[in-house]
A and B are shown apart, each in its own frame.
Chain A
Amino acid sequence: MPIHRAICIVCIAIAALFLVPNTGRAAYDYVDISNPSLQKIPLAVPVFHTPSGRPLQVAEDAADDLARNLDFTGYFQILDRHRFLVGPNQGGVAAGEIAFKDWTRIGAELLVTGLVRVEEGLIEMELRLFDAVKGEQLVGKRYKGWPRDRQKMIRRFCNEIIHSLTGEWGYFDSRVAFISNGSGNKEIYISDFDGEDAKRFTHHNSITLFPAWSSDARKIAYTSYARGGPDLFIRPLTGREIVVVSKERLNTTPAWIPGKNGLAATFSFTGDQEIHLVSPGGNVTQNLTDHRGIDTSPAFSPDGASMAFVSDRSGSPQVYIRDMGGGQARRLTFQGRYNTQPSWSPRGDLIAYSSMEGGEINIYVIDTAGRRPRRLTQGAGRNESPDWSPDGSMIVFSSTREGSSRIYVMTAYGTDQRRLLTLPGEQTSPKWSPRLSRN
């Protein structure tokens, strides 16, 4: 822990903003995040330079990491290095040294340069993003840390890039929790946002389901049969203080309430399946639904003021919304006979859910007024459990399109669908964490 903290301090302290042009004008119009017919921006990421001019593995790896992270967002078309007119370690890294015509001639509109130094076992990186057309630097940062923190530094700069282009911070330090049965039992695993570095989180050797991240990403609540029945576990990511809620019958589908230190989950100890509030200490308090039949799967608006949930009160499972302040629940979905698994966009305007139709289950998004449901998957098996990236630009979900259930991602418009990772067994129920830190 002290070592870890020391590295962080090194990272943060030395990450310095240098050369900030155009301070008066926000550059948020580069990526139009509300435009469904998104045009990908051509972006060049040459291998990072070294002071000596000699090739360095870590410089190449860092450039590759950065290109891969940015490619993941779906915003960019990463240009092939074979097409570059400028050779590796040529052409300069700062505004005055770069011939931007060499980049615009191959179609690049954005350019990222880097200078990597290795001194006394530490890596120092100077990273810059340029508008190649205008020949202007948009953001520049310097980072220093241990070689194993290379990715952390790159991710941090990628967050800066996305922020300078969209006004929203990137999600490159976020993670994805999901269920995998590769060990023979369903357990929770956690990977980086891009599916890298997947690690097993629970060892219950039982059925474990429904991971849910707390707003500060420090805890995960979930359901496990470890003690016999479907109990609710609230567990910190690091540390061992586990809270178990074990009401008679169901203790399922936890969801944390944004801005509040508490969560909601489904219980049936009252006789009927209802959503109740739960304190972080595990006390089940007030019920949030009170209706005969099934009420389950709470999902909260980013301001915590409204809750979407699933109810079969109409005769089939449908998504409903109610204000936390009180009042009647209103039905959100009317198309189809089986709409479940609501997830509220962090931008607040959309709700993703899954809808059973024929032999398929597909992911839809709908606005909070219940207008214009839009199908994002089709003809690809069972697509379930949609959940949003922290900036609301992407959706993670599970799909059986390649046979076994795996975790996939796509943009919020349904484009760029691809598999996130491959592990033994089947993977389901992905949940995208909030951002872990602020840049």
Chain B
Amino acid sequence: MRKALCIPMALAVISLVFFSASCAKKAVTPERGPAYEEGPGPEDTGITGRTGRYEYEEDAYRSTVEDEGFREGTYGDKATQRELTAATRNEFENEDIYFAFDSAALSRTAQEKLREKARWMKQYPTVSAVIEGHCDERGTSEYNLALGDRRAESVKTYMINLGVSRSRLVTISYGEERPIDPRPTEDAWARNRRAHFVIE
């Protein structure tokens, strides 16, 4: 039964990839998705509102395929020989991406951290990562699992948009099930609303 489903699904995915690749070539600017502004600035130009968040995601999906196809190779070739030391590995894994309450939007700080991570992943092109989405304990567990899923996907989409291959990133939501700090304080909650990277 499953196999029967798989074949048309695979066909659909392949045709989608070809289709969007041919479209995306024209639509997407060289370095990033069109919804972003980069560079330091005093005001947060990152997308924080809900509507903004969805627009951003849409744009990111559209530009994905082109990013994969054209940039991975360039970065990868230069960096292939670099050694993956425990120190760099830890740095990559320990730096979490934080979110506001009931939000999956990426703040300016979050975006900066993700650009770091994207650069790093391009330096180590053999590395794959799991992006975990987490929530604080205040909400309810059903909704938080969905929110954690959104957080992880929002991070993944941004990374793909920066040129990291989709195939190197997997997401998993833990909702409120794996707090990094179990205390019921504002501080702890802020630390628990996070996307966490784990190298596979």
For residue A271, give the distance in angstroms from its CB to the closest CB of chain B: 7
A39 at the interface (CB under 8 A from B): no
Q: B139 and A230: CB pair below 8 A?
A: no
Kindly list chain A residues whose C-beta atoms are within 8 Å of the C-beta of B138: 356
Q: B143 and A317: CB pair below 8 A?
A: yes
For residue A396, give the distance in angstroms from its CB to the closest CB of chain B: 16
B171 at the interface (CB under 8 A from A): yes
Q: A273 and B146: CB pair below 8 A?
A: yes
- How many A-B pairs have beta carbons closer than 8 Å: the answer is 81
Q: A316 and B102: CB pair below 8 A?
A: yes
Q: B173 and A250: CB pair below 8 A?
A: yes
Indicate whether A292 sits within 8 Å of B139 (C-beta atoms), given known contacts A230-B145, A268-B149, A271-B61: no
For residue A400, give the distance in angstroms from its CB to the closest CB of chain B: 10
A338 at the interface (CB under 8 A from B): yes
Distance in angstroms between the alpha carbons of A315 and B54 in the assembled complex: 12
Distance in angstroms between the alpha carbons of A128 and B60 in the assembled complex: 71
Distance in angstroms between the alpha carbons of A329 and B138 in the assembled complex: 27
Distance in angstroms between the alpha carbons of A186 and B178 in the assembled complex: 12
A115 at the interface (CB under 8 A from B): no
A310 at the interface (CB under 8 A from B): yes
Which of A252, A271, A293 contacts B145, CB < 8 Å? A252
Q: A268 and B146: CB pair below 8 A?
A: yes
Q: B142 and A296: CB pair below 8 A?
A: yes
Fill in one digit per residue for B51-84: 1 if any A CB lies within 8 Å of its CB, else 0.
0001000000100000000000000000000000
Fill in one digit per residue for B1-35: 1 if any A CB lies within 8 Å of its CB, else 0.
10000000000000000000000000000000000
B94 at the interface (CB under 8 A from A): no
Which of A273, A293, A338 contacts B139, CB < 8 Å? A338
Q: A296 and B143: CB pair below 8 A?
A: yes
Distance in angstroms between the alpha carbons of A340 and B143 in the assembled complex: 7
Chain A residues with a Cβ under 8 A of chain B: 186, 207, 209-210, 223, 228-230, 249-250, 252-253, 266, 268, 271, 273, 281, 283, 292-294, 296-297, 310, 312, 315-317, 338, 340-341, 354, 356, 361, 384-385, 428-429
Chain B residues with a Cβ under 8 A of chain A: 1, 50, 54, 61, 102, 138-143, 145-147, 149-150, 153, 171-174, 177
